[in-house]
Amino acid sequence: MGLIQNVLAVIVVLGLLITFHEFGHFWVARRCGVKVLRFSVGFGKPLWSRLDRHGTEFAVAAIPLGGYVKMLDEREGEVPAEERHRAFNRQNVWARIAIVVAGPLANFLLALVAYWVLFVAGTTTVVPVIGEVAPDSPAARGGLAAGQEITAVRGEPVRSWEEINLELVAAIGASGELTVSARDEGDSAARQHRLPVEDWLVRQDPPQPLPSLGITPWRPPLPATLGQVVDGEPAAAAGLRAGDEILAVDGEPVAGWRDFVERVRARPGEPLALSVRRGERRLSLSLTPRANALDDGTTIGYVGAGVEPVAWPEAYRREIRYGPLAAVGQAAARTGEMTVLTLDAIRKMVVGLISPSNLSGPITIARIAGDTARSGLESFISFMAYLSISLGVLNLLPIPVLDGGHLMYYLVEAVRGRPVSERVQALGLRIGLALVGTLMLMALYFDLMRL
């Protein structure tokens, strides 16, 4: 069921993003007087198509991993003399630039609209209160303590752990100090703390900003109550059910879910005597964790059970909401921030500050799309907005075969006054195909490694 949900979620997300991207090209091409022959969502054989009164074929194809807008162009076939003025290649350079840029700009516009919807509807987040600070960590040396609420990172106000992580990831590669402002419970004024860092998160795979600083977010206490039991795994074989509360292991009381998990992980293949509360009854059960081998060669216990979620106290919940006009500015700021972050991440990957293993392909995108869809509409829309920005940024990179490559040629033409030669464009096409193909293979490889 999870696989089906992931596939459906990624089809919805990519279908919407690609349709919007290609509609940007289509809309501007029509306004510039260019004849559009086909508007296709997906590649391959059309599953559905229809022809409009302008002679444009709209199609949905079998492979939902892309799309294209095919325009009348003398470089791709014979064009009747009476229609040559509507060919793409006959347009002036500024019209061609506008048509090429319109696709990525449509993705940025979609992200802005998505963020606007979220800010108007209101987003519920968790107040960023520190739960624990690891001894002798950068956070401890900077004076941060449990119970403090983080209010700013690097001088930028933050209201949630998501915003904190974005600011910390943007600082990858930093050496010296990270400034973090925090206030104690009950205080209105925050104090600035300077956290010492050296080559911050460089080549960490994947980057883990908070653990690297020694910060653990506050979480409500989790009783050792089972929320789910996986069929065919040791927990189910032992007779455990959803709703059971683990009171003790081998006669020792269990302090909570984390305590129970640590004991299970530490005892692979060894029987555990459990004391369990089920409704009004107390039961004694025997549970033997299955041994799971990790990549580093160590072995841990696994039983196939999950914790029952608990509600967050209202004091630790925060709603972020804006009026329709104020939300426009906030949405534009968030879109700009995520665009800069994406560009900076690409730069840091090129210079080696970020591991290329952070590249994600269709498998990872499908998994995250499914996870966010299950988490709720708010998470799904937020993910879609970020993916739309990523698609816009990637398409603007100056790589032939991408929109950015065509834009590069047209800008050179605008400066020189004549087009880039066919020989140079053909060479660029081969280089672009090799680069894009290599990136796709790398992303797919890292996807499979994550599985």
Q: Which burial class, exposed, middle or buried, applies to 229 when counting CB atoms under 10 A from its CB (0-12, 13-18, 19+)?
A: buried
Residue 406: how many other CB atoms lie within 10 Å = 20
Helices 324-351 + 161-170 axis angle, to 10: 40
Q: Give φ, ψ of 318 to 5 degrees.
A: -140, 135
**Catalytic site residue from 22, 149, 163, 167:** 22
* 157 closest CA partner among 186, 173, 180, 187: 180
Which has the closest alpha carbon to 182: 132, 219, 141, 145? 145
- With CA atoms as reference, report the closest residue to 217 among 157, 141, 171, 162: 162
Q: What is the dihedral of CA 60, 64, 65, 69, to 10 degrees?
A: 0
Inter-axis angle of helices 422-450 and 403-416, nearest 10 = 150
Question: Tokens in use for 64?
Answer: 């939902």
CB 214 within 8 A of CB 133: yes
Q: For residues 103 and 415, give the distance between their C-alpha atoms in angstroms, rounded to a whole number.
A: 23
Report phi then psi at 92, rounded to 5: -70, 160
How remote is the C-alpha of 25 from its chain's centroid? 25
Q: Which residues, in sequence order, are bridge partners of residue 125?
A: 318
Active site residue 78: no
What are φ and ψ of residue 139, in 5° steps? -65, -40
Cα 366 from Cα 362, distance rounded (Å): 6
Catalytic residue set: 22
